[in-house]
């Protein structure tokens, strides 16, 4: 990924300036639209469902419904009537039972993205689905040593994933720390994008947008346009941020505030890292500490050049390039005022992350990502020259193996690579070897380059998938079936 050049003065001097931005925040809107989004409300968060005594029972009804999107009623896809769906707070060792009720017109299912749970039976089995008007009972058992972190859930029925996620079906999962991190408040922030037509329904997506990976006209936080957040000076907050966009990369900044990154995806650093920007490919998550400084700041996503599909596609932003300025798109406004709070308590010590760099590798493989002209007028998206076939196992690994994979992207676009069940340690990128343990379950592979990862196939056997997390590309065939046995 290559950030577009930008100006660096992003901090706003006062609430009046911030209010002047409210109408355009998070908005990449075409002229002539009849839908009138509004922003500036106080940040709201989804319903919280918390496990108790080692278990949680959840009912998720997927349906088309009226929901508040950017401050206005819209007809979208929802879990339990809201966008995002409820947030599940879990603990290692929990048993989670989810009843999925399908009120949609098409089949659907649920993938618990990033959780290290079995892919078999009625656990995280994306090869199963519920037909319209039916329900399905999932049961997930988290290992006792499951990593704390930020996870999420969304549909994964092949061929319909992009439409269902873009339409509003997603929600957060938080696996809590064994020792709480002392903060003034904990915020869950699901960032998504969507396009709505003049009557508030999800807009149709063109073939070209699908080829590129669609990017919505509205960029939202918990379904809101430029929500308002407030804090006192010196307060430390925890922001758990999920990139639930179907194709949009997020390059996040909050200038004027101290940012410390606890980790990405399920990976947790031994010590927090001071950062100025956080880059999230689609599907990535960030666990972020924000220490408040006086003033009004803006959370933005800066423009990201993720490549293009060639001359037939033009620019590399799915038709949205040029609709934001060099400062990017406003996501939320953070107002800090009042009497300073007491200094935050020290952070609890974190264990050293697992490091596979010196471990014995049992096998090495290469996956090649390709794009090209397919049959007819469409483009093909493949791994090792083959589009996804649910009847074909593409990769077989022995249970307990420790493998090194070379992810080679021959295409002119970045592709975020996601492997279900087992996280990946990034060993080497185009810039060279990675200096310390970096664990992610979505790893960006830039255009015409390679990334080397190692994977420990621990604990579970069964079939699952790996795929590009630009969801239109996944639906178009850039997915493979893997079996551990």
Same domain, 429 and 462: yes
Domain-embedded: residue 170: yes
Same domain, 162 and 17: no
Of the candidates 51, 1, 47, 306, which has an alpha carbon nearest to the alpha carbon of residue 190? 47
Task: Provide mean pLDDT across the span 346-357.
Answer: 93
Q: Which domain holds residue 74?
A: 48-175
pLDDT of 405 reads 98
Is the pLDDT score of 6 beyond 70?
no
Lowest mean pLDDT among 36-45, 242-251, 318-327, 405-414: 318-327
Identify the residue whose tokens are 């319903």: 47
Predicted confidence band of residue 354 (pLDDT cuts 50, 70, 90)? very high
Same domain, 70 and 140: yes
Q: Please tell me which residue, 40 or 162, carries the higher pLDDT value.
A: 162
344-to-111, 229, 258 alpha-carbon distances in Å: 36, 19, 13
Last residue of a domain, one of 319, 336, 353: 336
DSSP 119-138: -STTSS-TT--B-TT-EEEE
Is the pLDDT score of 131 beyond 70?
yes
pLDDT of 32 reads 44
Mean pLDDT value across the chain: 90
Q: Is the pTM of this model over 0.75?
A: yes
Last residue of a domain, one of 175, 196, 230: 175
Domain-embedded: residue 300: yes
Is the pLDDT score of 9 beyond 70?
no
Predicted confidence band of residue 349 (pLDDT cuts 50, 70, 90)? confident
Same domain, 186 and 171: no
Gap between the Cα atoms of 305 and 316, Å rounded:
6
Give yes or no for a contact between 147 and 268, defined as CB atoms under 8 angstroms apart: yes
Task: Provide mean pLDDT across the span 199-206.
Answer: 94
Domain-embedded: residue 117: yes
Is the pLDDT score of 11 beyond 70?
no
Domain-embedded: residue 260: yes
Task: Provide mean pLDDT across the span 115-137.
Answer: 98
Lowest mean pLDDT among 20-34, 166-180, 456-470: 20-34
Domain-embedded: residue 407: yes
Q: Give me the count of residues in the chain.
A: 485
Is the pLDDT score of 373 beyond 80?
no
Is the pLDDT score of 331 beyond 80?
yes
Same domain, 82 and 33: no
Q: Please tell me which residue, 17 or 225, carries the higher pLDDT value.
A: 225
Strand partners, 359: none
Domain-embedded: residue 251: yes
Same domain, 143 and 243: no
Strand partners, 269: none
pLDDT of 37 reads 86
Domain-embedded: residue 341: no
Task: Please tell me the total count of domains within the chain.
Answer: 3
Same domain, 169 and 282: no
Same domain, 54 and 26: no
Is the pLDDT score of 200 beyond 70?
yes
Same domain, 152 and 112: yes
Same domain, 437 and 373: yes
Is the pLDDT score of 81 beyond 50?
yes
Last residue of a domain, one of 146, 175, 204: 175
Q: Give the contacts of 205 (CB within 8 A, at least 6 positions apart).
A: 162, 163, 166, 195, 214
CATH number of the domain where residue 377 is located: 2.60.40.420
Per residue in 256-298, pLDDT tens? 999 999 999 999 999 999 999 999 999 999 999 999 999 999 9
Domain-embedded: residue 343: no
pLDDT of 376 reads 56
Same domain, 33 and 54: no
Gap between the Cα atoms of 152 and 168, Å rounded:
13
Same domain, 322 and 198: yes
Lowest mean pLDDT among 227-241, 344-358, 386-400, 401-415: 344-358
């Amino acid at each position: 990924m290559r950030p577009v050049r930008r100006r660096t003065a992003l901090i706003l001097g006062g609430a009046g300036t911030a209010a002047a931005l409210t109408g355009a925040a998070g908005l990449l809107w075409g002229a002539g639209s009849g839908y009138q989004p509004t922003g500036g409300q106080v940040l709201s968060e989804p319903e919280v469902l918390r496990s108790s005594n080692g278990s949680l029972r959840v009912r998720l009804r997927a349906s088309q419904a009226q929901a508040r999107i950017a401050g206005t009623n819209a007809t979208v896809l929802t879990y339990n009537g809201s966008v995002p769906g409820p947030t599940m707070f879990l603990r290692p060792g929990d048993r989670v039972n989810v009843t999925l009720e399908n009120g949609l017109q098409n089949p659907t299912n649920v993938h618990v993205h990033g959780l290290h749970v079995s892919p078999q039976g009625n656990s995280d089995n994306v090869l199963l689905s519920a037909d319209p008007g039916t329900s399905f009972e999932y049961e997930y058992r988290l290992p006792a040593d499951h990593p704390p972190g930020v996870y999420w859930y969304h549909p994964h029925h092949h061929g319909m994933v992009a439409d269902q996620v873009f339409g509003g079906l997603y929600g957060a999962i938080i696996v809590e720390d064994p020792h709480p991190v002392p903060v003034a408040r904990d915020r869950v922030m699901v960032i998504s994008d969507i396009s709505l037509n003049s009557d508030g329904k999800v807009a149709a997506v063109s073939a070209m947008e699908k080829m590129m990976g669609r990017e919505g006209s509205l960029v939202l936080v918990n379904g809101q346009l430029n929500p308002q957040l407030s804090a006192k000076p010196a307060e430390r907050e925890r922001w758990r941020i999920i990139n639930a966009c179907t194709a949009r990369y997020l390059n996040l900044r909050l200038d004027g505030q101290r940012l410390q990154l606890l980790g990405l995806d399920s990976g947790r650093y031994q010590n927090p890292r001071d950062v100025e920007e956080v880059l999230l490919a689609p599907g990535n998550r960030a666990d972020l500490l924000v220490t408040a400084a006086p003033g009004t700041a803006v959370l933005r996503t800066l423009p990201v050049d993720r490549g293009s599909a060639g001359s037939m596609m033009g620019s590399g932003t799915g038709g949205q390039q040029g609709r934001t300025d060099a400062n990017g798109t406003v996501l939320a406004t953070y107002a800090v005022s009042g009497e300073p709070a007491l200094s935050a308590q020290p952070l609890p010590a974190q264990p050293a992350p697992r490091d596979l760099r010196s471990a014995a590798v049992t096998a090495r493989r290469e996956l090649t990502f390709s794009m090209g002209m397919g049959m007819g007028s469409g483009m093909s998206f493949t791994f090792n020259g083959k589009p996804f076939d649910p009847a074909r196992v593409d990769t077989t690994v022995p249970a307990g193996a420790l493998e090194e994979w070379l992810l080679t992207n021959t295409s002119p676009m970045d592709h975020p690579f996601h492997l279900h069940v087992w996280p990946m340690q990034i060993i080497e990128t185009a810039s060279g070897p990675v200096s310390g343990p970096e664990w992610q379950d979505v790893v960006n592979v830039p255009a015409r380059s390679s990334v080397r990862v190692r994977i420990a196939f621990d604990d579970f056997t069964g079939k699952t998938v790996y795929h590009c997390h630009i969801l239109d590309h996944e639906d178009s065939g850039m997915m493979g079936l893997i079996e551990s046995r």
